[in-house]
Amino acid sequence: MLNRWQIALFAGLAERFATRTLEPEWPEETLTAGQLKAKLASLHPAHAEAIASAFVACNQVYVHEDAIVRHDDELALLPPVSGGSGIAAQKEAESGRYKIVDHPIDVAAVLATVAHPNHGAQIAFVGTTREWTGDKRTVRLEYEAYEPMAISAMRQIGSEIGERWPGTWTAIVHRIGEVAIGEASVVIAVSSAHRANAYEASRYAIERLKQIVPIWKKEIYEDGTEWKGCQTGPWNPLEPI
């Protein structure tokens, strides 16, 4: 008896395979994440290198190569990124502190979500689309996200910041779709009792976002396009910052 496995693809991987979902039929009901990648690579040898550099997500959580996954789990193969449960993530998103949006971001509105009468420091990091990268002129950026997992990962970052800098509040809003030159793609707002904690937490948040939040950036140049993943070396979202 064969079992149908469904593996979602995103960003550059989806373009490579020309599909958003792979649906191989294998006799196994369970595999390790590493075995899953190996079997996919054997089916698609032309994409073996891309598969090897990707991570498996199981039920919206990154998993190690030796983790057991089932054919009926929610599975995704995630290429390097550019930068709890779905129900819990949705409730947090509705509160306005962790959101994926497809429209321009209101920086003041994001800052307002972390306002606290006992916090003497409130700052916002705003990431915008720059026109030139080296000698290449960017026309626009296009962002894509694995949305429920991205919101969950943002909430995780907020929790980590609360543990490292007690009492510090964080909000993260990221835009998807087309983002023009000069427009904001991400806003991170932080408030804390003291400015040092706010500065440190803000830097931590953007670095952590680039490490674990499944959002991808496509650069649209005058002379072509390129998916941008982790640019600082091997990507490992399971490694602590």
Q: Tell me: the pLDDT tens digits for 181-191? A: 999 999 999 99
86-228 to CATH, choices 3.90.1170.40, 3.40.50.740, 3.30.110.30, 3.40.50.1100: 3.90.1170.40
Output b/e per residue, 171-198; b: 16+ Cβ within 10 A.
bbbbbbeebeeeebbbbbbbbbbeeebb
Which residue, 136, 142, 160, is CA-closest to 211?
A: 160
Estimate the crossing angle of helix 86-94 against helix 147-164, to 10 degrees.
70
**pTM value > 0.85:** no
**194 touches 121 (CB < 8 A):** yes
* Alpha carbon distance 215, 145 (integer Å): 4
| List of residues 6+ apart from 43 with CB closer than 8 A | 24
Give 166-206 pLDDT, tens digit per residue. 999 999 999 999 999 999 999 999 999 999 999 999 999 99
Q: What is the pLDDT of residue 93?
A: 42
Q: Please identify, in words, the CATH class of the domain defined by 3-78.
A: alpha beta
Average pLDDT of span 146-165:
96
Q: Count Cβ atoms within 10 A of the Cβ of residue 49 and give its class: 0-12 exposed, 13-18 middle, 19 or more buried.
A: exposed
Give 6-52 pLDDT, tens digit per residue. 999 999 999 999 999 999 999 999 999 999 999 999 999 999 999 99
AA identity, residue 18: A
Which residue, 126, 152, 129, is CA-closest to 139?
A: 129
How far from the centroid of its chain's Cα atoms is residue 54's Cα?
A: 13
- Helix or strand run (H / E) with residue 148: helix 147-164
Average pLDDT, the chain: 90
* Alpha carbon distance 26, 48 (integer Å): 18
Structure-derived torsion over alpha carbons of residues 8, 12, 17, 20, reported in degrees to the nearest 10: 30
| List of residues 6+ apart from 6 with CB closer than 8 A | 21, 22, 23, 75
AA identity, residue 146: Y
* 40: number of Cβ within 10 Å: 21
Could you identify the residue written with the tokens 């916002």? 124
- Residue-range domain boundaries for the chain: 3-78, 86-228
Give 117-127 pLDDT, tens digit per residue. 999 999 999 99
* Alpha carbon distance 176, 142 (integer Å): 7
Q: What is the pLDDT of residue 173?
A: 97
AA identity, residue 187: V
